[in-house]
Amino acid sequence: MMDDLLLKYYKILGIQAGSTEREIDKAYHDIIKNPELQNGNWERLKEINLAYEGLKNYLSSSREKKIERQQAVPLDKKNESLETKPSIGLWAGISVILFILLAAVFFFRESLFKSHEANISKIIKSIKPAVVTVRFGNAQGSGFVIDESGYIITNYHVVKEKSGTVTFPDGVPSEANVIKLDKQKDFALLKTVIGGKYPFIKLGDSDACSEGETVIAVGSPLSLEISFTKGIVSAKKRKLPFSDAVFIQTDAAVNFGNSGGPLINTSGEAIGINTLTVTKEIAEGLSFAVAINDVKALVKKGQQQSEAERARELEGLEQRRAEMEGETIQQRDKEKKDRAILDKWERERQVKQYAEGVEKVIRQRHEALASCLKTAHDNYTENWNNHCSQMGKFQKCPLPESTAQHLDNIHMQGRNECFKLYPQ
């Protein structure tokens, strides 16, 4: 039962005993909107606030006691409730199983990664004996043996004479003769002079490679004997404007001296011939290898050609050598002329850029001065019309001479300030 104080509170708010909290809030807000209370009836307002706060505290306390009663469940019912819930042991078991599964996934992932890395290392060890450093005079590149009799693939642009030297990873050099050339595919086939059984790299199927597949570029960059770089196939069957060869694009690093070395897949097969890379000033991770399928027919033809056919190949090589010497001189002259033209264009560009900058500054000053003068004139007109309004006259009315002179002086000062700020 309610005590007399609570009944009094309900009566002050003008509502029935036992009203809901929403009804109490509504009654309170309706009462305090009364203009009489807002005009200073402080005692009445104090009484209403006291009743409102008292009822709110009573209802809040009643809710808390109700919750406590609901939570005070008898022991036997509490045990029944616990029996319907999963036991701690069950949750512990589930947690252990999840932990074991996660550990297994992590272990499998790590094992797979280590297995992949071990496979790459195994491939490198197996192909390394068949990769050679190729030297023709001052020119140096890379190459790789493709059969046990000593046939070697390299790039056309590495070969400059009829014969050169190939050096195996163990440091043993061997003389090698040119057998077959193809300038458009940047392909050259060599043959060691010394017979024997050589380690070799099997030619793979470049058409079967896929974008994202791991590849290894092998060669002798910057005179460093045989090094390996790993990357992926970025694109297959790429065509470039200066060649009719088919290229494999990769992000594996191919540096100066890698030319002619093999591009190896994860089966340890050569699927390309490292040929060129785009400099880092232009693009990052952009290298190209001639697809091996594009030169297989040339390899077969070179291995089967006669001595007479080989002699004709070498005649072409001698002619190319003479042409290259002439091309080198012409290239230097062309580069010199091109540089002079580029320098001239750069000077003209800088002059034009400077002139445009000066013109822009002048234009901005003109615009700023015009805006400043307009503001000074608008202020002058506004002040003049304000004086007219104060005299009860129309706008732009005639003003007394002293007033007009004063406004003219102010206007002139504003204009002079504009010319100081934005000199022309």
Q: Which residues contact 347 (CB under 8 A, 6 or more apart)?
A: none
Q: Which amino acid is at 337?
A: K
Identified catalytic residue from 25, 147, 157, 205 = 157
Q: For the CA atoms of the chain, what is the radius of gyration? A: 47
Phi first, then psi, for residue 178 (nearest 5°) are: -75, 130
Annotated active-site residue 294? The verdict is: no
Tracing tokens 């009484």 back to the chain, one arrives at 47
Q: Give me 272's structure tokens.
A: 């390309």
Question: With contact defined as beta carbons under 8 Å apart, do 237 and 246 qualify?
Answer: yes
Long-range contacts of 113-119 (CB under 8 A, 24+ apart): 119/266
Instruction: Please provide residue 154's backbone torsions phi and psi, each rounded to the nearest 5 degrees.
Output: -150, -170
DSSP state of 264: E
Asked if 411 and 377 count as a contact pair (C-beta separation under 8 A), the reply is: yes
Query: How many angstroms separate the most distant Cα atoms in the chain?
Result: 129
* Cβ burial 265-284 (10 Å sphere, 16+ → b, else e): beebbbbbbbbbbeeeeeee
Q: Which of 186, 206, 220, 234 is catalytic?
A: 186
The verdict on whether 186 is a catalytic residue reads yes
Q: Spot the catalytic one: 142, 227, 234, 259.
A: 259
Catalytic residue numbers, as ranges: 157, 186, 259
